[in-house]
Structure 1
Amino acid sequence: MARLLLHAQVALLFVICTASVSYGFYLPGVAPQDFRKGDAMFLKVNKLSSIKTQLPYDYYSLPYCRPERIVNFAENLGEVLRGDRIENSMYAIRMLEDEQCKVLCRIEALSEAQARAFRLKIDDEYKVNMILDNLPVAMVHMRQDEKGQVLKAYERGFYVGFVLQDSDSDELVHYMYNHLRFNILIHTDAETDLSRIVGFEVEAFSAKHSYDNTFSAEKPELNTCNPGKKIAVSHTLSPQPVAEGNEVIFTYDVKFTQSDIRWASRWDTYLKMTDTQIHWFSIVNSVVIVLFLSAMVAMIMLRTLFRDIAKYNSLEAQEEAAEEYGWKLVHGDVLRPPQHASLLSTYVGTGVQLFGMLLVTTFFALLGFLSPSNRGGLMTAMLLLFAGNGLLAGYASARLYKTFRGEQWKAMTARTALLFPGIVFAVFFVLDLLVWHQDSSGAVPFGTLAALAFLWFGVSVPLVFVGSFYGFKKLAPEDPVRTNKVLRQVPIQPWYMHPAVCCLIGGVLPFGAVFIELFFILSSVWLHQFYYLFGFLALVFVILCITCAEISIVLCYFQLCSEDYNWWWRAYFTSGSSALYLFAYSAFYFYSKLDISKLLPQVLYFTYMAMVSYGFFCLTGTIGFVACYWFVRQIYGALKID
């Protein structure tokens, strides 16, 4: 049955991907493009982004030079959800043809609305994002590595402008960057004379251009920038202020530079933004936690449990064992169905769905299919795989619910299909309305919302019901011990065995195993950095699973030794409580690393992190619960009880 479900899931995922391609929500493959001298190169403009507001805007929301017809290029689902709007531009670039002081367009006089729009974006430190041959434009910075060597590093995009204090009036004056100097790195094959783009760098200038007499649009000649007179734009020129009525001339330079970088390695400079030694420190820290927990589990399993089981199964020690204090005394109640068994089955199914999604996504990321060059591919893959893993969610929840002898499987299945996605979608929809009110490109269009609804109701929900049907149809596993009809009274527990105390303690170690890697993940999301170290992420994910399983087993054993058989929900909350620490850390990260002062971005941040923490709770809670469920069945199945 498991193999049949796996084959069915693969087939359904293939159908989903095929349908998504036909609707334009595909995972684009990136192939090298060869250019000859003089070939046209299409520079595309992307969104305006800021780490201060987290609200992306369309490039043409500012009065930049607009072509006669704006063309929107095909976007996948992940790009739309991220607010990417990729459009054509007026920049004319040809391979190996340098340009100097090429006039793009001229604004005769800025209106008050245009000047205000520029000032607002400059105050919020917005950056302009562009794309050439799938490479994002980047500013160059020099940094030192661990050995003290100076290396080139990139910072994505360039700022809209800057603010300076006027020396005469002491007022703050806004200036815009209206001249761009593109440095395009190329690698040329000596045999074929074909070139490939391996770098896209930019240096932004603010220049108040001047000219003699009148401005000629057909053949403009500037005094501040003239290739015939060998005058180039520099930082010594008077900057271009942003004020109503000011004339603005947008210009750009293009320079091609030969590079030894090969096309396959062209993303390396973009990705060298983090220190890998910190990641190794994270791995070592997590491994130490796992070894500590493994030692405790080994001690429990090899010494205490084996000794107890041998004693309890000994015929000579039956009278002595009857008066023993410990986990054997609750064998008649340990597998009694818990309260709200249907809800517990729902959350376990949701956790299995999330686990399957992350497992497959990490696998494909390790193979390189979801690299940063595949823009939007990671988010698209996660959404498609979450919908496809509805089959596993329905099967797992139904199997557990059948174990609880539940009969209302349809209601339980509907809750599995609707509870977690419904909460996330409702919150996302409300936030989308708030973002839409701000005229941000981050607002998801109605067509994309319809596509998400189709993935949910047209794919995920039916798969949950199919998996639940087969899971509930299968016979429930036989319990290793018989449940008593009379409920055993739980003795008074010491304070340190209180459920709240145990759960809070249990969440510390799983969070401690991942919190360093969590810093880089948060930085990639909220500081617009690239995250590519999926090998480290896979190791941390394995360590997280082991830590959740072991800490849940240890605390579950201590609970049973205290003759408290109400372990079902506590096993889920023991490792699931790590979500509380995740959310607390996200608040610490917000106040220590981010500079967000406006109300709406703050609401967006904490709401999204609350949703992430909710998903993390379902994932880690399920891992801990499954481990405890296996542990309990193993130890009580080893007993010989009349």
Structure 2
Amino acid sequence: MRGFYVFLLAVLAHRTAVVGDEHDHKYKDKEEVVLWMNTVGPYHNRQETYTYFSLPFCKGPKTTISHYHETLGEALQGVELEFSGLDIEFKENVPQKQYCEIELTENVYKAFVYAIKNHYWYQMYVDDLPVWGIVGEVDASNGREVDYYMWRLKKFDIGYNDGQIVDVNLTSDAKVKLVPGDKISMTYQVHWKPSPMPFRRRYEKYLDSSFFQHRIHWFSIFNSFMMVIFLVGLVSMILMRTLRKDYARYNKDDDVDDMERDLGDEYGWKQVHGDVFRPVGNRILLASLIGTGYHLATVTFFVIIFTIFGHLYTERGSILSTVIFVYAATSPVNGYFGGSLYARQGGQLWIKQMICGALVLPAMVSSTALVINFIAIYYHASRAIPFTSVLAILAICLFIILPLSLIGTIVGRNVAGQPDNPCRVNTVPRPIPEKKWFMEPIVIIFLGGVLPFGSIFIEMYFIFTSFWAYKIYFVYGFMLLVFAIVITVTVCVTIVCTYFLLNSEDYRWQWTSFLSAASTSIYVYFYSIYYFFFKTKMYGLFQTTFYFGYMALFSIMLGLLCGTVGYVGTSMFVKKIYSTVKID
């Protein structure tokens, strides 16, 4: 399994990589250890990051290193590794040593003052272990004027165990007041110490177990599980009991004459049997969205499984790289289910549908990322996606996703493309009678997402906090369980909503079932707005655009996944009830 992940990252790497110590994490005495400087930015705006040397820091005297590597996932996440220039060797202590000097010219002074005012901190990496430090601090204790101090000493305490680095700690010390025209000597110190910690557990110190395994997290899982039991029981007892009564009433047809039938003994969902399987409007769009939803469900499941067993959260960019790889590799799923559904609906423009299904989600992601990218370029932020990464993504879409989607579409049309409806479709559509306002499709659509959102509400808080507030999400077992819960809740709720719709003699169930399940995303996006204003301290155009842009994408993807689950479950339900009842 570990070899699979190494292969996965190698496939996605778009820069030449030379295998070195940082890849196998094994060192010999006095072997080179690289200190990578990554990004710097305001503490409260996690995504507003800049390259470390965009601030006028100075580099160490060392200019060459033995290796450099970066994956596609790292590039897309704004990882900008630059060599620090500091000479560090395995198990070799370094006493306090000056490595460069910063002259506080007017521009340099203003840059550091701005960074300290906005609580800038920076990130570094030693053997793939993240290290954080703060640029400086503000001192307003004298009451008259504000003084700005910067830390000029970086003290590294590095723990090792059997030729491997298992712990890195940074202490910022020796603060110095910023005075225009002065010179600041930047120094560093390295202390190596043996550690009993095994290598496989070295990442545990970064994981906030008390936060993610809080009692409220366990309670939310239990609460969602009880909701599943309630809804399954509701569908099993109330709905099936109602259907049995309907079956009993409809089967009385053998005991009554034609005059009684003509007087309207039949009513409810059986009345629309000649229209319920009528081809839906905008079938290309529906088939494309359903195929994309199948695709997203497959990707979500596999990525969660890979992360649980492979601990991908411990490697920079590994989760995003895995998502891209799995999404491209599973493209036939999109083509198969989207193409087969379109064929069953009687569609003829299957190539158009295939292209739409394969590119609808990449197009949405790319357009959103393009807007954010322009803003990132304007801000000179590290989140700006490199042109080579854009070319790599374009190549994946054109040369992997499209061909595999084509294969899946051809297979789907030939294997599962024949209509299998249990009832004939009438030539003339039946008029839809008037009904109460709460039975209108638009009302059902908006109400259908309430319970699925309630089942994932607490988990959304933990996921948002992880992504937007410097916490590493690692409880993917919880996520897998919540994934199964939201699928079950969505299917049950959508079936109930569809039954009420059909019972009011409205046969427009296909789009209604999809949109009622997909409306969960609307509530998630509303919650993200609340989270932004009441749970974070984010500010600025770039961070705001980044947040709401990518939260919109997240909500849309969740909506596609839930909508597909709701549609598929409802489709099976509708075929079941209309295949069982006796149709004259």
What residue number does 2:44 align with?
A: 52
Q: Distance in 2 between matches of 1:458 and 1:245?
A: 56
Establish whether residue 33 from structure 1 lines up as the match of residue 38 from structure 2.
no
How far did residue 36 of structure 1 move?
A: 5.1
Q: Gapped runs of 5+ residues in structure 1? A: 1-12, 138-156, 188-193, 208-238
CA distance in 2, matches of 1:323, 1:392: 45
1:27–1:380 CA contact under 8 A, matched in 2: no
SS in 1 for 2:484: helix
Q: 2:152 aligns with which of 178, 182, 187?
A: 178
Q: 1:278 matched to which residue of 2?
A: 216
What is the correspondence of 1:475-486 to structure 2 with a 5 Å cutoff?
Answer: 475-486=417-428
Please identify, of 409-418 and 450-459, the stretch whose mean Cα deviation from structure 2 is larger.
409-418
Structure 1 match to 2:56? 63
**Equivalent residue number for residue 386 of structure 1:** 327
Compare 491-500 and 470-479 and name the one that shifted more. Answer: 470-479
Q: How does 1:248-287 map to 2 (within 5 A)?
A: 248-273=184-209, 274-276=211-213, 277-287=215-225
Alpha-carbon distance in structure 2 between the residues aligned to 1:488 and 1:479:
18
Distance 1:496 1:51, change over 3 A: farther
Q: Deviations over 1:77-107 (max 9, x none)?
A: 1111111112222333344444442222222
Structure 1 pair 444–255 and aligned structure 2 pair: CA distance change class (3 A): same
C-alpha separation between the residues in 2 aligned to 1:444 and 1:588? Answer: 29
Equivalent in the alignment of 2:282: 340
Residue 286 of structure 1, CA deviation: 1.2
Letter of the structure 2 residue corresponding to residue 102 of structure 1: K
SS in 1 for 2:266: coil
Q: Report how many residues are paired.
A: 570
1:118 corresponds to 2:112? yes
Matched, 1:129 2:103: no
1:329 paired with 2:271, answer: yes
Which one of the candidate residues 444, 448, 453 is aligned to 2:385?
444
Q: Whole-Å Cα distance in 2 between the matches of residues 27 and 430 of structure 1?
A: 36
Deviation at 1:545, TM superposition (A): 0.9
Look up the match of 1:162.
137
Seen in structure 2, the aligned counterparts of structure 1 residues 431 and 172 have a Cα distance that, compared at 3 Å, is same
CA distance in 2, matches of 1:243, 1:456: 53
SS at match of 1:41: coil
Kindly tell me: are residues 15 and 433 of structure 1, through their superposed partners in 2, closer, same or farther at Cα, counting changes over 3 Å?
same
Structure in which a larger fraction of residues adopt helix: 2
C-alpha deviation, 1:480, in angstroms: 0.4
Alignment of 1:44-443 (within 5 A): 44-53=36-45, 54-67=47-60, 69=63, 73-107=68-102, 109-137=103-131, 157-165=132-140, 167=142, 170-187=144-161, 194-205=162-173, 207=174, 239-273=175-209, 274-276=211-213, 277-314=215-252, 316-317=254-255, 323-370=265-312, 372-443=313-384
Q: Helix, strand or coil: the match of 1:617?
A: helix
Residue 614 (str. 1) matches residue 556 (str. 2): yes
Deviations 1:253-309, CA, capped at 9 Å, x for gaps? 323344332111111111125240332122112112211211111114542223423
Query: 3-state DSSP class of the match of 1:121?
Result: helix
**Secondary structure at the counterpart of residue 34 of structure 2:** strand
Please give the residue correspondences for 1:412-561 in structure 2 after superposition, counting only pairs within 5 Å.
412-474=353-415, 475-561=417-503
Name the stretch that deviates more: 383-392 or 27-36: 27-36
Residue 112 of structure 1 and its aligned partner are, at CA, apart by 2.0
Describe the SS at the equivalent of 1:401. helix
Residues 269 and 502 in structure 2, CA contact (< 8 A), matched pair in contact too: yes
Per-residue deviation at 1:310?
4.2
| Equivalent pair of 1:311/1:317 in contact (CA under 8 Å) | no
TM-aligned CA distance change 1:49 to 1:14, over 3 Å: closer
The letter for the 2-side match of 1:262 is: P
Could you tell me how far 1:478 is from its partner in structure 2?
A: 2.1
CA distance, structure 1, for counterparts of residue 253 and residue 189 of structure 2: 91
Partner-residue secondary structure (3-state), 1:198: strand
Residue 470 of structure 1 aligns to which amino acid in structure 2? V
Report if the CA contact (8 A) 1:27-1:377 is conserved. Answer: no
Contact (CA 8 Å) 2:59, 2:86: kept in 1 or not? no
| Residue equivalent to 1:227 | none
- The 2-side partners of 1:398 and 1:94 are apart by 58
Q: CA deviation at 1:127?
A: 1.6
Partner of 2:507: 565
DSSP-derived class of the 1:385 partner: helix
1:18/1:391 CA distance change after superposition, 3 Å? farther
CA distance in 1, matches of 2:456, 2:43: 24
Q: 1:476 to 1:26 in 2, by over 3 A?
A: farther
Is the CA contact (8 Å cut-off) linking 2:14 and 2:389 kept in structure 1? Answer: no
